[in-house]
Amino acid sequence: MTNILRYDDSAARRLIDNQLYETLQPDLIAAREEMLADIALLGTDQIPAHKQPLDAGFQNLPQQLLDEYDSEQGNSLLGKIEDKARELREQSDRFVVLGIGGSYMGMRALFEAVCNPWHNELTRAQRQGVPRLYFEGNNVDNDSVSALRDLLQSGCQDPHDVLQRWSLTVISKSGGTLETAVGFRLFRELLENYYGADSDESRSLVVPVTGLEGKLRNFSNQKGYSSVFPIPDNVGGRFSVFTAVGLFPAAVMGLDIKQLLQGAADMTQRFVSQPMGDNPVLDYTATCHLFEKEKNVSIRILSTWGKRLEALGLWYDQLLAESLGKEEKGATPLTVVNTRDLHSRGQQHQEGALDKLITNLIVEKSNSDSVPVPVVPENQNQDELNKLEGKMIPDILSAAIEGTNRAYADANRPTADFILPVLNEYTLGQTLQLLMLATVLEGRLININPYGQPGVEAYKVNMQEVLNR
């Protein structure tokens, strides 16, 4: 039980008529039934037009992957991912991840949440043989691309020395995303210059992760890369963190991907089987929806308590924005990292417009030993911190959380808490799956197809037109 995510929205509920939750319950349960029925439509020609695209494959995928691993071990997708990840760890000391949007943000969230914040600064021994990590292909930024190319060129001169070897993965479901495709050309060129265009290394140290069809799939087939991992048709980009999109790079970085999937599978099971009150997906969706509908609370703040959760928040920003920001509807997501942002956004959240629901993401126990506030001789106590003798950094954080929640409650600002007992692969798996399920559930509730992102195409068409001039 110690690793189970909890959701507590009692503070928010004090600000709204509780009867509304009961009235909403049948609609929520119907939306859940619809999501379960969606699974049965996958792969058939029975998908109604208003449900297309239907990317519901993410719902059961974690359990499917675990079951497949149980029966096929090394021949399963997970087995192959782990083998290839081990090979890249042994064969390279730097690992470049190319991808954008759903092909980037989930992996970044996992990495920042679990790995040492100074990972790239550590020696290979301190990193336990895990390569340094670099993200590219997620923007159009000349200086950033140049800097990484320079780093790889100046730091990697001897391709036979493992400390100077590097590898890359290119992640794109469509295989046609410009930022990633340009990045792939640039870094592939560099890699082939280094190892030799037709060398085994150039085929084994590049790992494409892509859809079953498309430009990148075609190129990979022609090139003969030793491993190409698939992205299933029925899983959309921002829902793909538990496909090879997130799992392969996470495995290279030494994360326990089975624990991630177990957390996600357990959350799906909880969603499917538990009643309101003990079902964080239903409960969170109800609170978000009711405050938006009844109180015009249209800004959803994910208030993360700890630096390691910022990327997870940004992943959620994309998930909510791209899924429900359609037909002039959909709440606006905003991630804050506290206590940092109490010093920047806190004023507005305390006294600005009453249009925000603040959901805290709290980790109860840090992974490292608690650091005490140092006590100094009285003649150096000008900062008066000796009064905190015996207090640890986590005590200060807890006080900040309690103090902030109390201040918001006093000002009639709704808050709720997601509480993770610890931050690890299992609790992360639960959290990410919860947020994906809740996003789809809300879409079904408000009759917005949560899948697809037609609005993203407009800029791409214009950009292409400009480039073609």
For residues 209 and 194, give the distance between their C-alpha atoms in angstroms, rounded to a whole number: 22
410-469 residues near ligand PA5, rule: CB under 6 A: 453
Which helix (H) or strand (E) covers residue 8, if one does? Answer: strand 6-8
Of 166-174, 263-271, 390-398, 458-466, the segment contacting ligand PA5 by CB under 6 A is: 166-174
Which structure tokens are listed for 199? 């060398």
For residues 467 and 461, give the distance between their C-alpha atoms in angstroms, rounded to a whole number: 10
Burial letters 97-108, b for 16+ CB under 10 A, else e: bbbbbbbbbbbb
For residues 349 and 355, give the distance between their C-alpha atoms in angstroms, rounded to a whole number: 9
**Read out DSSP for 128-145?**
TTPPEEEEESSS--HHHH
Instruction: Give whichever of 32 and 173 is closer to ligand PA5, judged by the CB atom.
Output: 173
**234 sits near ligand PA5 (criterion: CB under 6 A):** no
User: According to CB under 6 A, which one of 169, 180, 243, 360 is a site residue for ligand PA5?
Assistant: 180
Phi and psi dihedrals of 68, rounded to 5?
Answer: -65, -40
Which structure tokens are listed for 380? 């150096």
The CB-of-194 to ligand PA5 minimum distance in angstroms stands at 25
Phi and psi dihedrals of 342, rounded to 5?
Answer: -60, -25
**173 sits near ligand PA5 (criterion: CB under 6 A):** yes
What is the C-alpha end-to-end distance of the chain, expressed in Å?
A: 61
The CB-of-144 to ligand PA5 minimum distance in angstroms stands at 18
User: According to CB under 6 A, which one of 238, 308, 345, 356 is a site residue for ligand PA5?
Assistant: 238
**138 sits near ligand PA5 (criterion: CB under 6 A):** no
Instruction: Give whichever of 180 and 424 is closer to ligand PA5, judged by the CB atom.
Output: 180
Instruction: Give whichever of 221 and 348 is closer to ligand PA5, judged by the CB atom.
Output: 221
Of the candidates 301, 271, 172, the one whose C-alpha atom is nearest the C-alpha of residue 230 is 172
Which residue is listed with tokens 């709204």? 16
Are the C-beta atoms of 154 and 144 separated by less than 8 Å? no
**237 sits near ligand PA5 (criterion: CB under 6 A):** yes
The CB-of-49 to ligand PA5 minimum distance in angstroms stands at 20
Instruction: Give whichever of 139 and 344 is closer to ligand PA5, judged by the CB atom.
Output: 139
Instruction: Give whichever of 57 and 236 is closer to ligand PA5, judged by the CB atom.
Output: 236
Given CA atoms 12, 15, 16, 19 in this order, what sign does their dihedral have? positive
Catalytic residue numbers?
322, 343, 460
Which structure tokens are listed for 18? 């509780």
For residues 38 and 22, give the distance between their C-alpha atoms in angstroms, rounded to a whole number: 25
The CB-of-265 to ligand PA5 minimum distance in angstroms stands at 22
Letters for 81-120 (x = contact with ligand PA5 by CB under 6 A, - = none) are -------------------xxxx-----------------
In the chain, the largest separation of any two C-alpha atoms, in whole Å, equals 79
Instruction: Give whichever of 236 and 330 is closer to ligand PA5, judged by the CB atom.
Output: 236
User: According to CB under 6 A, which one of 174, 259, 274, 332 is a site residue for ligand PA5?
Assistant: 174
Instruction: Give whichever of 177 and 279 is closer to ligand PA5, judged by the CB atom.
Output: 177
The residue nearest ligand PA5 at its CB is 237
Are the C-beta atoms of 28 and 276 separated by less than 8 Å? yes
User: According to CB under 6 A, which one of 57, 62, 106, 236 is a site residue for ligand PA5?
Assistant: 236
The CB-of-229 to ligand PA5 minimum distance in angstroms stands at 13
Instruction: Give whichever of 105 and 267 is closer to ligand PA5, judged by the CB atom.
Output: 105
Of 9-17, 174-182, 221-229, 376-384, the segment contacting ligand PA5 by CB under 6 A is: 174-182
Cross-strand bridge partners of residue 166: 94
Of the candidates 147, 149, 154, 191, the one whose C-alpha atom is nearest the C-alpha of residue 169 is 191
Of 172-180, 219-227, 324-332, 437-445, the segment contacting ligand PA5 by CB under 6 A is: 172-180
The CB-of-58 to ligand PA5 minimum distance in angstroms stands at 11
The number of residues that bind ligand PA5 (CB under 6 A) is: 14
The CB-of-423 to ligand PA5 minimum distance in angstroms stands at 25
The CB-of-277 to ligand PA5 minimum distance in angstroms stands at 32
Instruction: Give whichever of 23 and 139 is closer to ligand PA5, judged by the CB atom.
Output: 139
For residues 270 and 266, give the distance between their C-alpha atoms in angstroms, rounded to a whole number: 6
| CB contact set of 23 (below 8 Å; sequence gap of 6+) | none
Q: What is the dihedral of CA 103, 98, 459, 219, to 10 degrees?
A: -90
User: According to CB under 6 A, which one of 169, 172, 234, 427 is a site residue for ligand PA5?
Assistant: 172
For residues 263 and 248, give the distance between their C-alpha atoms in angstroms, rounded to a whole number: 17
**3-state secondary structure at position 161:** coil
Distance, C-alpha 407 to centroid of its chain: 30
**322 sits near ligand PA5 (criterion: CB under 6 A):** yes
The CB-of-171 to ligand PA5 minimum distance in angstroms stands at 6
Chain residues in the site for ligand PA5 (CB under 6 A): 100-103, 172-174, 177, 180, 236-238, 322, 453
